[in-house]
Amino acid sequence: MSLGLVLGTGGQLGYAWTIAALTTWEQETGRDAREADVLIGTSAGSVIAAALASGVPVADMLAQLLDPPPAPSRPKGAPQSTARRGLPPMPRVGPGSLRLLGEIARSPRRFPPLAFGAALLPTGRGDTTGLHRWATKWAHEQWPEAPQVRIVAMDYDSGARVPFGRTGAPPASMAEAATASCAVPGWFSPVRIGGQRYVDGGVCSATSADLLLDPDLPRVDEALVLVPLARSGESPDVWSNPVGATDGWLRGLIGGRSAREIARVRAAGITVTEHAPDAEDRAVTGWNVMDPRKQAEVAQVALRTTAARWERERTGER
């Protein structure tokens, strides 16, 4: 049966969770994620999609998570990079996209809720060179004929969702597209491709699962959708765990759009398996999904929780 993989946004810790989920999915099903017919990636998921399309095994990505190379030493007296602590550099002053704010003011219903915040946030000062280096490490420059790959970013001035790799999309390498897809507004500088500014595709949708229905893509029989910024299960009680409850509420809001997209895909006759972090995953992740210091821990926990999830899927338990 033909397969589509939809890998959603999730920051550095969502990346770790997704790699672990793919690892245990491969072990449970005996399938190889690289053999998917369609790959749709957003933000952190875009790097994984590009890597799989370039022939990189999930096992290689997991190995680097669990045993990362040492960070380069910093000169004596130099300030510690905020990125190493999962914090952004101080952004510039003023809204990041006045043009997008104007578009939203004229037609607010055309845009997803996160678009307003993304436009209002100041332009990030985070250097995207590191993002590009990260993407280039795994991804080929050229788009493969098979599998079909779509990497989702947002045009920062029009608010349009742009699936790079699609017929008619702006020319870009897979690494350039993945860098744009990962450029979180307010954190990283927008990425320029063909004279346009692009930011994280997660502003439009955490997954863009509805792209599976795009006539520009081959029809698939089944799809695996991983949504690391959503949640499975209930969120904590606000009185006993206000931070966890707020995180759960936000994840529910983010996951709601993906759920509607998945419902459309199912209505079209495609069998969909979806998963998002459970309570144990979310507890170890915490509120800051950009903290690189916790990647190995998140992956180790997710190897256990996702293995249990696929076992329940196989046996029909819930």
- pLDDT averaged over the chain? 86
Give the tens place of pLDDT for each residue, 53-67: 999 999 999 999 998
φ/ψ of 78, rounded to 5, equals -75, 145
| Neighbouring residues of 72: CB distance < 8 A, sequence distance ≥ 6 | none
Tell me the C-alpha to C-alpha distance, in Å, between residue 202 and each of 153, 230, 263, 297: 7, 12, 19, 24
**Peptide bond just before 144 cis, omega within 30 deg:** no
Four-way CATH pick for 3-71+122-315: 3.40.1090.10, 3.90.470.10, 3.60.40.10, 3.40.50.300: 3.40.1090.10
**97, 155, 189, 200: which one is catalytic?**
200
115-151: pLDDT as tens digits: 888 898 888 878 788 888 878 887 887 899 889 999 9
Catalytic site residue 60? Answer: no
Q: Output the pLDDT for position 136.
A: 82
Is 208 annotated in the active site? no
Q: What is the model's pTM?
A: 0.89
Domain range annotation of the chain: 3-71+122-315
Q: What is the pLDDT of residue 151?
A: 98
User: Which is the catalytic residue, given 43, 46, 189, 208?
Assistant: 43
- Dihedral (CA of 159, 165, 170, 171) sign: positive
